[in-house]
């Protein structure tokens, strides 16, 4: 039975009635240095899994040829904006859906350019699994991995944004400078393993390396044939994804949907987001925090299909019975019984990645779930011993790169967050100026008008 047939319960008068889909949904973010081949790979996956029809492919092939970028046609499937096609760059986070018999997936194709790291954070903060794309081509792996390349920054951010599962695809193995050479693959695995281990990845349990050629579609779905590469006996990329065990999602928890975007559909307010915990049902009364906009769910859509309810992990379009004026990205849709109370101050643990001097009074932008807000460090409470993870006794006046501190963060405006231990997706944050300054997690929150608990 095909993946689509598996979903159909009955067909009456040509109308398909869909079964509740038991297949778990995963958000997969593609990260890595610019030109590593992320968009090409994403396009190839959509092609191989039958999500793009032959006519669309031919159209993209024609378009790419007209622009003298023939080899880019697969990337065109992901890079939708005209602007991006002209430049051949991925700016916004592209989204696409594909499915197999085992799971349903949304691909988030994050931009690799330095200036677009905030978009990458946006993509990664919604992801369950990271696919780190590495170019094996001579010089390209080195450029991406050296200081200034995005491989390190993306992998670091992915880990701190809570992506514990990483599939590393060593791409462009078909390149004349590589020719599926095991030595090249092994060397890259060795260099990356050392680095990823240092970031705290569980290399045995949660990280795997797969050689591929995204452009020609080798080792994406079908396993590698020994004629192409006799030494690799592992899974193809899609086999590896299908074998990822179920994630423990908080279906019983309070409803939390951080809002990514909003728009109007035939006059009805629609918000987009990923259900991080709890379930959402058609007809349910909900409240958007921190503005306390109380409303009702008119209808729900998952990947363009109308659904009765949604569980955690799903990306959902929520049609609401209210005006959209007071709703913005970064707000959180909650159930009315126990909404996420707004805070303006919290205590967080913060790892300084790239700053010479950081002291109380420091201000920058904080990215936390889908919110981007100004904040100030009010006080530094203590420095944390890297070995024991415990606070050091000395008084602290400032911090610098590699320090881990506990500090009091003050937001310019009220926001909704959760403690990291309660709901990690809403309790980890990234601090940025024009570069990433550091990453952290929320330890204690202080709801407005109460003392810190």
As measured in angstroms, the least distance from the Cβ of 209 to ligand GDP is 15
As measured in angstroms, the least distance from the Cβ of 99 to ligand GDP is 22
Largest CA distance in the chain: 75
As measured in angstroms, the least distance from the Cβ of 137 to ligand GDP is 7
Whole-number Å distance between alpha carbons of 237 and 169: 8
Residue 84 interacting with ligand GDP (CB under 6 A)? no
DSSP label of 72: G
- The three-class DSSP label of residue 204 is helix
Within residues 210-269, the interface with ligand GDP by CB under 6 A covers 213-215
Interacting stretch for ligand GDP, rule CB under 6 A, among 29-37, 142-150, 391-399, 403-411? 29-37
As measured in angstroms, the least distance from the Cβ of 172 to ligand GDP is 4
Q: How many chain residues are in contact with ligand GDP, going by CB under 6 A?
A: 21
Q: Which residues contact 241 (CB under 8 A, 6 or more apart)?
A: 26, 28, 100, 103, 105, 129, 167
Length in residues, the chain? 453
Which stretch of DSSP H or E encloses residue 24? strand 24-31
Site string for ligand GDP, 148-187 (x = CB under 6 A): -----------------------xx-xx------------
Within residues 55-74, the interface with ligand GDP by CB under 6 A covers 71-72
- When the beta carbons of 38 and 249 are compared against ligand GDP, the nearer one is 38
- When the beta carbons of 225 and 450 are compared against ligand GDP, the nearer one is 225
Whole-number Å distance between alpha carbons of 50 and 47: 5
- When the beta carbons of 172 and 311 are compared against ligand GDP, the nearer one is 172
Q: How would DSSP label each residue in 315-373? A: EEEEEESS-STT--TT-EEEESSS----EEEEEEEEEE-S-S-B-TT-EEEEEETTEEE
- When the beta carbons of 213 and 423 are compared against ligand GDP, the nearer one is 213
Out of 112, 290, 312, 342, name the contact with ligand GDP by CB under 6 A.
112
As measured in angstroms, the least distance from the Cβ of 228 to ligand GDP is 12
276, 87 in Cβ contact below 8 A?
no
Which tokens hold the place of 112? 């690799």
Residues contributing to the site for ligand GDP (CB under 6 A): 32, 34-40, 71-72, 75, 90, 112, 133, 171-172, 174-175, 213-215
């Amino acid at each position: 039975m095909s993946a689509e047939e598996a979903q159909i319960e009955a067909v009456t008068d040509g109308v398909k009635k869909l079964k509740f889909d038991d297949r778990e949904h995963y958000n997969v973010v593609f990260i890595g240095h610019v030109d590593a081949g992320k968009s090409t790979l994403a396009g190839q996956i959509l092609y191989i899994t039958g999500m793009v029809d032959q006519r669309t492919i031919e159209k993209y092939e024609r378009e790419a040829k007209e622009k003298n970028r023939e080899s880019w046609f697969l990337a065109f499937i992901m890079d939708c904006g005209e602007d991006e096609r002209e430049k051949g760059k991925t700016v916004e986070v592209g989204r696409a859906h594909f499915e197999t018999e085992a799971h349903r997936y949304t691909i988030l194709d994050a931009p690799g350019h330095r200036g677009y790291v905030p978009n990458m954070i946006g993509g990664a903060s919604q992801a369950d699994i990271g696919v780190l794309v590495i170019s094996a081509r001579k010089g390209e792996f080195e450029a991406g991995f050296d200081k200034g390349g995005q491989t390190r920054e993306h992998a670091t951010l992915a880990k701190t944004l809570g992506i514990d599962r990483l599939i590393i695809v060593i791409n462009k193995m078909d390149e004349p400078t590589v020719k599926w050479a095991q030595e090249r693959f092994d060397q890259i695995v060795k260099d990356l393993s050392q680095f990823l281990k240092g970031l705290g990845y569980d290399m045995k349990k949660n990280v795997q390396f797969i050689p591929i050629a995204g452009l020609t579609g080798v080792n994406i779905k079908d396993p590698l044939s020994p004629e192409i590469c006799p030494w690799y006996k592992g899974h193809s990329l899609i086999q590896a994804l299908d074998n990822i065990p179920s994630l423990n999602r908080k279906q019983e928890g309070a409803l939390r949907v951080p809002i990514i975007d909003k728009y109007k559909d035939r006059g009805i307010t629609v918000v987009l987001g990923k259900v991080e915990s709890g379930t959402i049902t058609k007809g349910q009364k909900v409240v958007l925090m921190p503005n306390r906009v109380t409303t009702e769910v008119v209808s729900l859509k998952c990947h363009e299909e109308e659904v009765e309810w949604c569980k955690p992990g799903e990306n959902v379009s929520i049609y609401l019975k209210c005006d959209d004026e007071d709703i913005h990205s970064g707000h959180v849709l909650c159930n009315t019984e126990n909404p996420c109370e707004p805070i303006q101050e919290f205590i967080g643990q913060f790892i300084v990645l790239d700053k010479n001097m950081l002291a109380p009074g420091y201000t920058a932008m904080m990215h936390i779930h889908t919110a981007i807000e100004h904040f100030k460090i009010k006080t530094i409470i203590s420095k944390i011993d890297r070995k024991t993870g415990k606070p050091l006794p000395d008084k602290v006046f400032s911090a610098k790169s590699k320090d881990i501190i506990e500090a009091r963060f003050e937001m310019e405006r009220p926001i909704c967050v959760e403690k990291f231990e309660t709901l990690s997706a809403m309790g980890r944050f990234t601090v940025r100026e024009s570069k990433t300054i550091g990453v952290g997690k929320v330890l204690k929150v202080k709801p407005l008008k109460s003392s810190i608990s």
